[in-house]
Structure 1
Amino acid sequence: MFECPFELVPASSFSADELAEIYNAGRVDYIVPMPMNAKRIQNYVRTYDIDLDASVIILDSDNQPAGLGMLGVRDDRGWITRLGIIPAKRRAGMGMCMMQALIAAARTRYVRLIQLEVIEGNDPAHRLFLRCGFRETRRLMVIRRPPEPPPPEEPPIAGMTVSQLTQDEIWACLAQRGPGASWVNENASLVKVEKLDGLRVKLPSGYSGWVIFQCKRFEMTHVVLQIPAPVREQMMIGLLYHLHRLHTQQDTKIENIPVTEMAQPVLQQFNYVEEFRRIEMFLHL
């Protein structure tokens, strides 16, 4: 039985500025640091249903914050995220302490399944999660496309049509999604995103698909695609062509796509670059 020698306190005891400072300090040597400020922390908590009373700050021997771990809760599912310990304060067992505290908090909230993602190559964290009982489920990609001139005016698929989705149509499309989206791309996350846009593409074969996204002045995020399997490559070409014909100034980030669902040659055709991969892991309680 593991006994934690460190004190843990609820993350709700700290301000958003303090949480951002602790989080950033724990990520300075991380493979992908992903820095945050107070506003981003607040938005993250709201969008992904983070329970700050269940999330933890671990303290060092001087009773100063040494690390952060967050727990999101949706019905009977939990999500562990933003786990990190400040490098100079890392001690053997700190990671296990935070994980056990987060798992215990999930149990008290009647969670039956906890999920998380770990970046490929972060072997210490991967080993920790395995020791806690998590098992791998699949690989997810994070891809990016820098702002570029639009694709050629001549459509790559003759006869395809495109239409803009209304807000009602966007929510109707999302309501028809099947299971399997990652936590950040679930409808429960997207419903909290400010102003989503969407496009529908219909191929000459009769198949249709859609892309829904949030477009800001300099970035496009929260991108989700519905692609019929029989015409996967053609539909990807159609959707990405029209998306980037209409939006040329944005840095586009598509997050947590299952590796098996996207055609790599099409991504390369539109100059997407794979930034990194995540390993999704589940723990059944």
Structure 2
Amino acid sequence: MAVNTIVRQARTRVRAEREAVDAKADAVEAFADRIADLTATPPSPPPLAATVTAGTPRSRQSDDRCRAVRQAFADTIRPHSVADVADDEPLLETVRAELSDSIAVALAPTTDRSFSPGLKRAIVSATSDRRTELATLARALERERTALDDAQATVETVTDWLLDADETPLTGLGFDALRTRHETLATHRNRCTDLTDRRQAFLRAATERSTGTRISHRSLGHYLYEDFPVDHPVLATATRLDSVCVSCQRAVRDHLVRRA
């Protein structure tokens, strides 16, 4: 009997995403360590003749440190950031997406900004924010994995019984056995309904961040399963199983009526 097993595929997808998030978190940690090792240089007052120009000129040493920040980012975070976009995305565009517009501008080789204590603090703060976001995403993925494990247990209970029952044709069952099969199918339909209710309640919830913002489970599902043939693998599977049980019940009832 062909039964939709897309929940199993969803579990594989969540596992892969969790591994990617963990790898990115490690990369952000490595970037933070390299930034911590760089010494910021307080900006020097510009010469009187230069006051008509914007910004504070970089020293050679400060320029080298901005270059070191760009290289650290390229070595650590960037490989995990461009996985879903074109590999030829400019480095500073990736910095902009991962940290901020202002940091990307400050680190640009064409910008007349030094690697000042203020810039270092901004980078450290942005990096800390990314670590918090990734930790929250990891928790949301773990909750999704747990929910999928629960769903898979229900799916296997129903499908295992259906496959086993399919081995015995209805013509080989007596009246009492047919009635028991009908009642068992009703129990499995209740399991499908309960699974649907649990999943809908889960999708209405969210994983909270320490900052007070949150990751909606529904939006996380849209992101995770955007390439799947169905938007909601658990709900689609529960609906499919219930439909199979309804068809089986109908066939059993026909036999019961004929033998009554």
TM-score greater than 0.5 by the shorter chain: no
Structure whose alpha-carbon radius of gyration is higher = 2
Q: Which of the pair is proportionally richer in helix?
A: 2
How high is the TM-score relative to the length of structure 1? Answer: 0.21
Q: Which of the pair is proportionally richer in strand?
A: 1
How high is the TM-score relative to the length of structure 2? Answer: 0.23
